[in-house]
Amino acid sequence: MDRVLVTGGAGYIGAHACKALARAGFLPVTFDDLSTGWREAVRFGPLVEAGLMDRAALDAAFAEHRPVAVMHFAALSLVGQSMRAPGQYWRVNVTGALNLIEAALAAGCRRFVFSSTCATYGDQDGVILDEDTPQYPINAYGGSKRAIEDMLRDFGASDGLESVIFRYFNVAGADPEAEIGEQHRPETHLIPLVLDAIAGRRGALTVFGRDYDTPDGTCIRDYVHVSDLARAHLAGLTRLLAGQGGGVYCLGTGRGFSVREVIAAAEKVTGAPVPLEEGPRRPGDAARLVSGSARARAELGWTPERSDMETMIADAAAWLNGPGYAH
Ligand code: UDP
C-alpha cells in the first residue's frame, strides 16, 4: 500500500484528506505535534507525534515509511493571530516547510502537495482571484504561505521537486459521515462560531466590521466544503503520481457570501436566530476574496459537490452538535 506523509493530519483539513486517501487505497501517515490537532482525528493510518522543527523526527519518518508523496497541511493559519505575532508565523510556517522539503529531498521523495491560501492575494477588491492574479499579502499568514510557494518553485528548479499548490478559499463543513469535523481550540472561524452561538455554547457572535465596501458592509468570502477540498488533494496527488507534473490551483466555488449572508443561511438551516453584536474590523481582513477555479476544473477534473452554503452549514452542525472531539 503506497504511503503518503500528511503533516497536520490531525487537523481539520488534513484529517479529511487522510480519510480521502484511505478510501482511495493509500495509507496516510500523519506527522503532527498535536499542538492544534486532535488525536481522535487520526483514524485512517499511523501517527508520528512530532513537530516540523524536529529534523531528526522528519528524517526518521521518511526512513520508516518511505512515502510516495507529502501532503503538507501543518501550519499556523489564523489571520488575526498572525497580525499580533508575525514572528511565530514566519518561524513555524516557513522554517517548518523548509525542514520538511529538505528532509523529503534527502529521502528521495519529490512529490509535494501544499496547502496555500487566498490570503496570499491580499486585498484586491472587485477582482476574481485566480492563478494568474499577482499576490500581495496583507497579513503575516498570507506572507508566510507565499514564501513557501516561492520555496517550492526554487527547489523545483534545483532538485526536481514537483509540487501541486492549492490556494484554498474559506474551508467549511465537515465529513458527511460525521467521523471528523471542524473544531479549533480556541475557535475563531465564522461558521462554527455561528453554530456555537445558536446552540448557546458561547455568547453572541461579533460581526467584525460593517463598513466594508460590499453590498451589506460585511466581508465577502468564497466557502468550499472540506470534503470537496479533500477530493482535490487526491486529484493533485494522482496527477503527480501519473507524471503529469505540478501546478497551482485555486479552490473555491466562485460565489462569495458576506458574513451576514452566512448568518442568514445558518438561521435558515437551523431554524434558530443567531445572537449578534457589532464589532470593529479585524486587522488583516480583506473585504472580498472570491475564487476563479477554472484551472482546477479543467486540469484536475475537480467539481465541488457539497459546497452550497446550506449543505456546508448542515454538515458542520451535524458534527458540532453531534460527536465533536471533546464533548
Ligand atoms: N468573522 C466575524 N466574526 C467572527 C469570526 C469571523 O465577523 O467571530 C468574519 C471575518 O472577519 C471574515 C469572515 O468572518 O470576514 C471569515 O472569517 P474566518 O475567520 O472564518 O476565516 P478567514 O477568512 O479568516 O480565513
- Provide the H-helix boundaries in the chain: 12-23, 55-65, 79-84, 86-88, 96-106, 140-159, 190-199, 226-241, 259-270, 294-300, 309-320
Question: If you measure from the C-alpha of residue 177 to the centroid of ligand 1, how many angstroms do you get, rounded to a whole number?
Answer: 26
What confidence score (pLDDT) does residue 304 get?
A: 96
> Is residue 323 scored above 90 in pLDDT?
no
pLDDT tens by residue, 150-160: 999 999 999 99
- Ligand 1 pocket by C-beta < 6 Å: which residues? 79, 170, 188-190, 193, 205-208, 219, 221, 259, 282, 285
Q: Is residue 136 a contact partner of residue 83, using CB atoms and an 8 Å limit?
A: no
Q: Which of 80, 68, 39, 312 is nearest to 188 (CA)?
A: 80
Q: Whose CA is nearest to atom 10 of ligand 1?
A: 208
CA distance 68 to 276: 48
C-beta of residue 41 within 8 angstroms of C-beta of residue 325: yes
Q: What is the pLDDT of residue 234?
A: 98
Q: Which residue has the cell 497580525?
A: 83
| 223 assigned to active site | no
| Residue 297 to residue 155: CA distance in whole angstroms | 27
pLDDT score recorded for residue 291: 94
Tell me the mean pLDDT in the region 55-83: 96
Number of domains in the chain: 2
Same domain, 139 and 200: no
165 phi/psi in degrees, rounded to 5: -110, 120
In a domain, 181, yes or no: no
Chain centroid to Cα 296, Å, comes to 16
Residue 165 CA, ligand 1 centroid: distance in Å = 23
* Rounded Cα–Cα distance for residues 262 and 222 (Å): 11
- Split at pLDDT 50, 70, 90, the class of 310 is very high
Which single residue is written with the C-alpha cell 465541488? Answer: 304
Among 36, 45, 40, 39, CA closest to 18? 45
- The rounded distance, in Å, linking the Cα atoms of 140 and 47 is 29
| Catalytic residue from among 89, 121, 141, 212 | 141
16: domain CATH number? 3.40.50.720
Residue span of the structural domain in which 262 resides = 190-221+254-320
266 & 310 share domain: yes
Angle made by CA atoms 71, 72, 74, in degrees to the nearest 5? 140
Does the pLDDT value for residue 327 go beyond 60?
A: no
Q: Which residue has a Cα nearest atom 3 of ligand 1?
A: 207
- The verdict on 149 and 276 lying in the same domain is no
Q: Quick: pLDDT tens for 87-135.
A: 999 999 999 999 999 999 999 999 999 999 999 999 887 789 999 999 9
Please tell me whether residues 151 and 217 are part of one structural domain. Answer: no
Determine the Cα–Cα distance for residues 198 and 179; give it in Å rounded to an integer: 22
Q: Is residue 74 part of a domain?
A: yes
**Whether residues 101 and 202 fall in one domain:** no
Instruction: List, for residues 207-254, the tens digit of each pLDDT value.
Output: 999 999 999 999 999 999 999 999 999 999 999 999 999 999 999 999
Is position 61 within any domain? yes
Using the 3D structure, point to which of 251, 266, 291 is the last residue of a domain: 251
- In this predicted structure, what is the pLDDT of residue 73? 98
CA of 77 from ligand 1 middle (Å) equals: 12
Q: What is the pLDDT of residue 124?
A: 86
Residues 179 and 83: their CA atoms lie apart, in Å, by 33
> Residue 190 C-alpha to ligand 1 middle, in angstroms?
5
Nearest CA to ligand 1 atom 4: 190
| Integer Rg of the chain from CA | 19
Q: What percent of the chain has pLDDT over 70?
A: 99
pLDDT tens-digit map of 122-145: 988 778 999 999 999 999 999 999
Least confident of 280-284, 295-299, 301-305: 280-284
Alpha-carbon span 169 to 118, nearest angstrom: 5
